[in-house]
Structure 1
Amino acid sequence: MKAIVIEGFGDPAATIQLKELPDPPAPAPGEVTVEMLVLNINPSDLLQIQGLYGVSKPPLPFIPGGEAVGRIAAIGDGVSGLAVGDIVSPMILNCWVERVNIKAHLAMKLPADIDLLQASMIKGNPATAEALLMDQVKLQPGDWLMQNAANSAVGTFLVKLAAERGINTLNIVRRDSAVEGVREAGGTAVTADALDDARAFRKTARELTGGAPIKLALDAIGGGATAVLANALADGGTIVNYGLLSGEQCRIDAQHLIFRKVTLKGFWLIHWFTDAGRERVAATYASVARGMAAGTLTTPVAEVIPFEEAKRAMAAAGEGGRTGKVLMVTKAYSG
Structure 2
Amino acid sequence: MKAAIIEGFGDPAATIQLKDVPEPASPGPGEVTVEMLVLNINPSDLLQIQGLYGVSRPPLPLTPGGEAVGRIAAVGEGVTGLAVGDIVSPMILSCWVERVTMKASLAMKLPAGIDLKQAAMLKGNPATAEALLADQLDLQPGDWLMQNAANSAVGTFLVRLAQQRGINTLNIVRRESAVEAVKAAGGTAVIADALDDPRAFRKRVREAVGDAKVRLAIDAIGGGATGLMANQVADGGTVVNYGLLSGEQCRIDAQHLIFRKVTLKGFWLIHWFQEIGRARLAETYGRIAAGMADGTLTTPVADVVAFAEVKEALRLAGEGGRSGKVLMVTEAGRQAGV
SS of corresponding position for 2:204: helix
Question: Where does residue 69 of structure 2 map in the other structure?
Answer: 69
Deviation of the 1:139 alpha carbon? 0.2
- CA–CA distance in structure 2, aligned partners of residues 198 and 102 of structure 1: 50
Residue 98 of structure 1 aligns to which amino acid in structure 2? Answer: E
Question: Where does residue 302 of structure 1 map in the other structure?
Answer: 302
Q: Pairwise mapping of residues 1-335 of structure 1 onto structure 2 (< 5 A)? A: 1-333=1-333, 334-335=336-337
Q: Which moves more between the two structures, 18-27 or 244-253?
A: 18-27
Deviation of the 1:329 alpha carbon? 0.3
Residue 241 of structure 2 aligns to which amino acid in structure 1? Answer: N
- CA–CA distance in structure 2, aligned partners of residues 236 and 201 of structure 1: 20
Deviation of the 1:268 alpha carbon? 0.3
- CA–CA distance in structure 2, aligned partners of residues 68 and 85 of structure 1: 16
Deviation of the 1:190 alpha carbon? 0.1
Residue 128 of structure 1 aligns to which amino acid in structure 2? Answer: T
Q: Report the number of matched residues.
A: 335
SS of corresponding position for 1:80: coil
Q: Which moves more between the two structures, 198-207 or 69-78?
A: 198-207
Q: Which runs of 5+ in 2 are unaligned?
A: none
1:55-111 CA-to-partner distances (Å, cap 9, x unmatched) read: 110000111100000000001111111100000000011100000000000000000
**Identity fraction in percent:** 78
- CA–CA distance in structure 1, aligned partners of residues 231 and 202 of structure 2: 6
- CA–CA distance in structure 2, aligned partners of residues 149 and 211 of structure 1: 24
Deviation of the 1:152 alpha carbon? 0.1
- CA–CA distance in structure 1, aligned partners of residues 212 and 194 of structure 2: 19
- CA–CA distance in structure 2, aligned partners of residues 12 and 272 of structure 1: 27
TM-score computed with the length of structure 2 as normaliser: 0.98
Residue 48 of structure 1 aligns to which amino acid in structure 2? Answer: Q
- CA–CA distance in structure 2, aligned partners of residues 12 and 59 of structure 1: 16
- CA–CA distance in structure 1, aligned partners of residues 194 and 7 of structure 2: 42
SS of corresponding position for 2:177: helix
1:30-73 CA-to-partner distances (Å, cap 9, x unmatched) read: 11000000000000000000000011100001111000000000
1:287-310 CA-to-partner distances (Å, cap 9, x unmatched) read: 000000000100100000000000
- CA–CA distance in structure 1, aligned partners of residues 230 and 58 of structure 2: 33
- CA–CA distance in structure 2, aligned partners of residues 102 and 7 of structure 1: 23
- RMSD between aligned alpha carbons? 0.6
1:238-261 CA-to-partner distances (Å, cap 9, x unmatched) read: 000000000000000000000000
Deviation of the 1:199 alpha carbon? 3.0
- CA–CA distance in structure 1, aligned partners of residues 151 and 24 of structure 2: 39
SS of corresponding position for 2:252: coil
1:310-332 CA-to-partner distances (Å, cap 9, x unmatched) read: 00000000000000000000000
